[in-house]
Amino acid sequence: MTNNALIENQYRRTSLFEKENVNYLVRVLKRFNTVPKVNNINIITSTSEPNVFKIVPNKSIVIGSLFLAQPVLALVYLRYGIEWQLWYKALNNEKQHTVLCDLAALEVTRIFYRLLPKTDKEKLENLHYFLIDLIKNNNDFTAEYVLKHNDLQAFHGLNSAHNVFNDAWKPIIENLAKPTEYLLMSGGDLRLNIDEIELLNKYGCRPFPRPDAFTFASSTATSVSNFAFDKTDKVRSILIRNSLKNGFKNATIEFSELLKDTLKKILRLNDECEIIFSPSGTDSSLQIAAITQIISKKDITHVLVASDETGSGVPAALKGCHFENTTALNYPVKKGDKIEGFRDIDLIKIPFRDENGALKTTRQLDDEVFNAISKTYALGRHVVLHTMDQSKLGYQSPSEQLMQTLGKQKNASIQVIVDAAQLRLDPADIQKYLNKGYIVSITGSKYFTGPPYSGALILPKSVSKLIRSAKNTLPEGLTQYYNHSDWPTSWCCSNNLSEGYNFGSYMRWNAAIVEMERYFRTPILYRNMGIEMFCNFVEDSINDATFLEPIYADEAKTDNYHSKEFGLRNIRTIFPFFILKNNKVLSVDEVKKLYTLLNSDLSEHFQDAPLEIVRLAAQKCHIGQAVNVKYNNAVESAILRISLGARVISESWVNRDISLFFRNIETQMNQITIIIKKIELILGHPKLLNN
């Protein structure tokens, strides 16, 4: 692994580690952890040549002490050097083609610089070093440019005079000469972009590890774990090597199919089912809208259950409309406009709550679903019933009894979609749905805590057979959303889609699958005991906090939480609550403000407080983001959520040690206590909410 000799050899011997600089240096070194780990490459510091930066191919990187006096400068240069070594190793027996290494390292470092926080960029503003000036002033590097730039070749001292750039390398550079953290936020939409101060996206998380935060936000989105990030970063290195050896297209298709095969094994799916990856759960809904048009010539009605607790863009997607102003393939579109090629459809929304904000009973929801489907049947239309298992607040509908009734109706033209985006299901649950001919929509980014925007459809054999035999093609407008490679190779309907590959989607799914694999390595007995232990504690902690009020007190209004058989779908793992101050519920804006404050370091507001309070204020706590819900069916407010995620289990199961497993879960339970205490701290300082 990379030897961070620059730290080990310098700590006792330079002024770099003066007290006022240590905290800043530590923060920079945390970011250094996202740099690829390249075997047998040593980092060597030089005091005799303080201005030196030298790459010794396949051996080391030499960096002068003057670079280390500017930690951000050193970070950028080392990012360049390690990326260069990574590509050089991938060249195998064609080591003379160093122009590829120069261009790839330059492109990666340019993007890496863009992803630095604003304060780090400011550290470089008045520094004039060759590499820094190059990446700040040139946004369009080409092979011709690099071949003419002798200063880049001087870094490694290899003669590139006779180098040529192979055209087959272009797609490799375009797709893989990007930092892993950049890939994890690409191929989605603008909601994955991060701010330049805290480096957080709309969901309050990062595309690289954030171990300093207490994270129980799996009902919304989670920063990628160190474990999954390292595994995904390694996959990028493997893809580079395989692409150079076997060709980009072959390596990419092999990778995509491997991801799908691995997911099938983890979820114990039949080989005959099909998996379609998508950039997001909403994109999966758009895929469903398109698939429905192919398999039915009838007029179509979508019956959307839990319309108030699904993704905000889902209704538009089901109507075949743009749901954002930019597509996953980065095409500018107009939100709300019809996508070319989609037919007009009817959409019936069935929300969980009535017009007063009251949660409907299971019976009420079942009646609404049954009546909507009966009326649609009478019109001779094809019904697409979207069921919910589970919603963002942990609810399910319609009931299994109603689904059995619908299943007995003869000559019914209906396709059932199970919205399992939270993926709070066991493999047996998914298999049961597929056996009934249902399409299951999942994500790897909720319960399993993969990076946000990891969507997928799982289609049973019966549906896949219908699509395979269909003569229609997908709507023309989908060329702006998906590549041909995103869809099963046996389907002709997708032949008109774009060429290319969505590596952002692939990499996010790789990280999610890594999390799934280690979760299921925990023995089922301890896994289930750990789940109950943690969830019982969260429920009790919320109930004991006088300033928190859970909204799940009347669990009889929800479905399937009373089964004797243990399973993720019949135990509550999402805990939403109102927040009260002086017995008055917070407003929507106050809840959203509190959510942001929880996820921030507030220590500067408590500098004169006792150390215990300062530490509490400094702790970043990431929980499920605000959802608007009326309090007592009358007052406009919002709830926050503490959610069980797979990492609570997988990160506790270490070295197959049972006692350590439960102790680790207790440690995470202690984090819940700190989160609740920080909520109380914020409530005790009204100025924080009012700023």
Residue 140's pLDDT band, with cuts at 50, 70 and 90, is: confident
The pLDDT value given to residue 188: 87
C-alpha distance from residue 128 to each of 67, 123, 136, 137, 451 (Å): 12, 11, 10, 12, 36
The pLDDT value given to residue 19: 55
Residue with token string 């049972």: 658
Give the pLDDT confidence of 38-47 residue by residue, as tens digits: 888 999 888 8
Same structural domain for residues 406 and 443?
Answer: yes
Report the DSSP beta bridge partners of residue 624. 641
CB 144 within 8 A of CB 164: no
Residue 175 is assigned to a structural domain of this protein: no
Same structural domain for residues 289 and 416?
Answer: yes
For Cα atoms 305, 308, 312, give the angle at the middle one, nearest 5 degrees.
105
- Which residue from 338, 522, 502, 312 is spatially nearest to 421, judged by alpha carbons? 312
| pTM for this entry | 0.93
Same structural domain for residues 481 and 567?
Answer: no
CB 616 within 8 A of CB 677: yes
Instruction: List the single range of 29-43, 65-79, 95-109, 519-533 with lowest mean pLDDT.
Output: 29-43
Residue 164's pLDDT band, with cuts at 50, 70 and 90, is: confident
List the CATH number of the domain containing 386.
3.40.640.10
The pLDDT value given to residue 489: 85
Residue with token string 């019976």: 363
Last residue of a domain, one of 497, 517, 537: 517
Give 59's DSSP letter: T
Same structural domain for residues 560 and 632?
Answer: yes
The letter for the amino acid at 212 is D
Q: Which runs of consecutive H residues, i.e. helices, occur in 177-319?
A: 180-183, 226-246, 248-266, 281-295, 314-318
Relative orientation angle of helices 248-266 and 226-246, to the nearest 10 degrees: 140
The pLDDT value given to residue 21: 61
Same structural domain for residues 151 and 267?
Answer: no
d(C-alpha 453, C-alpha 496), whole Å: 25
Residue 650 is assigned to a structural domain of this protein: yes
Q: Print the SS3 string covering 156-172.
A: HCCCCCCCCCCHHHHHH
Last residue of a domain, one of 142, 165, 188: 165
Residue 238 is assigned to a structural domain of this protein: no
Cβ-based neighbours of 277, under 8 Å, separated by 6 or more: 256, 259, 260, 454, 455, 456, 486, 502, 505, 506, 509
Same structural domain for residues 620 and 490?
Answer: no
Q: Say yes or no to pLDDT of 343 above 90.
A: yes
d(C-alpha 293, C-alpha 616), whole Å: 54
The pLDDT value given to residue 424: 97
Give the pLDDT confidence of 358-384 residue by residue, as tens digits: 999 999 999 999 999 999 999 999 999
In the structure encoding, which two tokens stand for residue 1, read together? Answer: 């692994």
Helix (H) or strand (E) holding 29: helix 19-32
The pLDDT value given to residue 556: 42
Q: Say yes or no to pLDDT of 327 above 50.
A: yes
- Which residue from 516, 529, 522 is spatially nearest to 566, judged by alpha carbons? 529
Residue 200 is assigned to a structural domain of this protein: no
Same structural domain for residues 111 and 23?
Answer: yes
Last residue of a domain, one of 517, 537, 566: 517
Number of structural domains in the chain: 3
Same structural domain for residues 508 and 579?
Answer: no
The pLDDT value given to residue 414: 94
* Burial class of residue 598 in the structure, from the number of CB atoms within 10 Å of its CB (0-12 exposed, 13-18 middle, 19+ buried): buried
d(C-alpha 165, C-alpha 141), whole Å: 13
Cβ-based neighbours of 378, under 8 Å, separated by 6 or more: none
Question: For 544-553, what is the mean pLDDT?
Answer: 92
- Which residue from 28, 444, 38, 512 is spatially nearest to 229, judged by alpha carbons? 512
Residue 404's pLDDT band, with cuts at 50, 70 and 90, is: very high
- Which residue from 417, 415, 406, 407 is spatially nearest to 369, judged by alpha carbons? 406
Residue 563's pLDDT band, with cuts at 50, 70 and 90, is: low
Same structural domain for residues 474 and 558?
Answer: no
d(C-alpha 428, C-alpha 407), whole Å: 20
What percent of the chain stands above pLDDT 90? 77
Residue 260 is assigned to a structural domain of this protein: yes
Helix (H) or strand (E) holding 213: strand 213-216
d(C-alpha 612, C-alpha 610), whole Å: 5
Same structural domain for residues 147 and 55?
Answer: yes
What percent of the chain stands above pLDDT 70? 94
Residue 192 is assigned to a structural domain of this protein: no
For Cα atoms 370, 375, 380, give the angle at the middle one, nearest 5 degrees.
120
Instruction: List the single range of 30-34, 99-103, 420-424, 617-621 with lowest mean pLDDT.
Output: 30-34
Q: List the end-to-end C-alpha distance of the chain, in Å, as a whole number.
A: 47
User: What are phi and psi for residue 420, nearest 5 degrees?
Assistant: -115, 40
In the structure encoding, which two tokens stand for residue 579, read together? Answer: 């927040």
Give the pairing type, strands 42-46 and 60-64: parallel
Residue 358 is assigned to a structural domain of this protein: yes
d(C-alpha 482, C-alpha 455), whole Å: 13
In the structure encoding, which two tokens stand for residue 256, read together? Answer: 């995509």
Q: Give residue 52's domain range.
A: 1-165
Give 125's DSSP letter: T
Q: Is 506 helix (H, G, I), strand (E, B) or coil?
A: helix
Residue 311's pLDDT band, with cuts at 50, 70 and 90, is: confident
Residue with token string 């072959």: 250
Residue 352 is assigned to a structural domain of this protein: yes
Same structural domain for residues 560 and 509?
Answer: no
CB 579 within 8 A of CB 597: no
CB 689 within 8 A of CB 594: yes
Q: Say yes or no to pLDDT of 673 above 70.
A: yes
The pLDDT value given to residue 385: 98
Same structural domain for residues 452 and 543?
Answer: no
Give the pLDDT confidence of 591-618 residue by residue, as tens digits: 999 999 999 999 999 999 999 999 999 9
Give the pLDDT confidence of 523-542 residue by residue, as tens digits: 999 999 999 999 999 999 99
* Burial class of residue 420 in the structure, from the number of CB atoms within 10 Å of its CB (0-12 exposed, 13-18 middle, 19+ buried): buried
